[in-house]
Amino acid sequence: MQSWLQLRGEWSPRVLSVFRIVVALLFLEHGTAKLFGFPHVASFDGLRLFSLLGAAGVIEVVGSLLVGLGLFTRPAAFILSGEMAVAYFMAHAPQGFFPLLNHGEAAAFYCFAFLYLAVAGGGAWSLDRLRHPGDP
């Protein structure tokens, strides 16, 4: 029978990949809502591509696809983490200190989730792993 430590070591890279894929798919919705109107968010109606929100949508779609595939995971996740930090401090923090009250919980969560992925990498099931087999 395997010990907990052996199982943890064996499954951690796989669960990291599942975490990466789920976070990327959930975040992709933010970009597709801005750029393609799906899912529909009324506040994004008439959004211009060459605007701050339009640029955010491009970063979110491209970055989410890269992170989801596990391709260039670390730099893509770092950029997405920075985008979410900027979003939090520009849109949410001025409305109050507490994320629950300023509606910044999602931005704060995504910021730290992507920061973790920027450090941890793509995990066992990533294209980065195929490109660099020795990397974690």
| Token duo for residue 87 | 């979003």
Residue 48 belongs to some domain of the structure: yes
The Cβ-side half-sphere exposure at 20, using a 13 Å CA radius, reads: 33
The domain in which residue 18 lies consists of 4-131
Residue 136 belongs to some domain of the structure: no
- The CA distance from 9 to 40, in Å, is 41
Amino acid at 20: R
Condensed to tens digits (0 to 9), the pLDDT of residues 14-72 reads 999 999 999 999 999 999 999 999 999 999 999 999 999 999 999 999 999 999 999 99
pTM over 0.85: yes
Residue 38 belongs to some domain of the structure: yes
Residue 12 belongs to some domain of the structure: yes
Alpha helices in the chain (DSSP H): 4-36, 52-69, 73-87, 99-102, 105-120, 127-131
